[in-house]
Amino acid sequence: MIALLPEEYQIEINTEKYNQLVAEKRTIKCDFCTATPLLKDIYLQKLLLPSLTKFIVDNDFINVWECDSCTETNTYNPQNITITKFAEPSYFKVVPSPPAKRGTKNRMTYDYEFKKWFNIVMTEIEYQIGIYRADYQSQQSSGIPQAQEIE
């Protein structure tokens, strides 16, 4: 069914690419500039606090990280973290590969995995068919004059 669509409407089957597209992205905002690096790319360090601050905060260390853009040291604050998830429905023209049946290992979960995969693939195919249909209809209505009724 995918092969019947023209090439610009076809869907790629690539599990790694699909997982990257649908994965949530966690970023942290720098307090000194507008940079928002990925949370997994920053390096957290523990900073030893002075004696007076230890007494006030009731902690010996604070977590800090250094911004790559402005090279300023930021305190790690969970309120500065932004989580970006893809909105449903999202159409990427990429779908994961179908689940493999591995004998008796996944016999209890295979039906669920296959239904989940099938739902992803069918919604993507239907979306691409809808785009193709709309483009085809607009080409037909703009390129060919409408026939007049004969009385």
Query: What's the pLDDT score for residue 3?
Result: 73
DSSP for 2-39 reads -TTS-GGG--EE-HHHHHHHHS-EEEE--SSSS---BG
Query: What's the pLDDT score for residue 91?
Result: 83
What spatial distance separates the first Cα and last Cα of the chain, rounded to whole Å? 42
Query: What's the pLDDT score for residue 147?
Result: 52
Q: What is the pTM of this model?
A: 0.63
CA distance 102 to 70: 51
CA distance 63 to 76: 5
CB 83 within 8 A of CB 24: yes
Query: What's the pLDDT score for residue 148?
Result: 57
Residue-by-residue pLDDT tens, the chain, 151 positions: 567 778 888 888 899 999 888 888 899 999 888 888 988 888 888 988 888 877 787 788 888 989 888 888 888 888 988 888 877 777 888 999 999 888 888 888 899 999 999 999 999 999 999 989 888 888 887 665 555 555 5
Query: What's the pLDDT score for residue 149?
Result: 58
Q: Where are the domains of the chain?
A: 1-24+86-143, 25-84
Query: What's the pLDDT score for residue 143?
Result: 60
